[in-house]
Amino acid sequence: MSDGYDIQETPDDAAFAERIAAPLRGPERAHPSFEKRLMARVRAEAGALYPSSASASWWRRKRVVRVSPLAGLALAAGLGGVVALSSIAISNHIGSRDGIAAKTAQAAQAADTVELVRFVFVDSGASSVELVGDFNAWARGSTSLKLSGAPGVWAVSVPLTPGRHEYAFIVNGTRWVADPLAMKTSDDFGTESSVIRIAPAGSSET
**What is the SS3 assignment for 112-153?**
HCCEEEEEEEECCCCCCEEEEEHHHCCCCCCCECEECCCCCE
Q: What is the pLDDT of residue 136?
A: 96
Q: What is the pLDDT of residue 10?
A: 77
Residues 6+ apart with CB under 8 A from 126: 152, 154, 171, 172
Decide: helix, strand or coil at residue 27.
Answer: coil
194: left (phi over 0), alpha (psi -120 to 50) or beta: beta
Q: Are 144 and 129 in contact (CB under 8 A)?
A: yes
* Mean local confidence (pLDDT), 10-25: 74
Average pLDDT taken over every residue of the chain? 76
- For residue range 91-145, list pLDDT tens digits in order: 555 555 556 656 655 555 555 688 999 999 999 999 999 999 999 999 999 999 9
- For residue range 134-156, list pLDDT tens digits in order: 999 999 999 999 998 889 999 99
Strand partners, 120: 155
Q: Are 171 and 144 in contact (CB under 8 A)?
A: no
Q: What is the pLDDT of residue 108?
A: 53
Q: What is the DSSP letter of 61?
A: S
- For residue range 32-87, list pLDDT tens digits in order: 777 778 788 877 776 666 565 444 454 455 555 555 555 555 555 555 554 445 55
The single-letter code of the amino acid at 151 is P
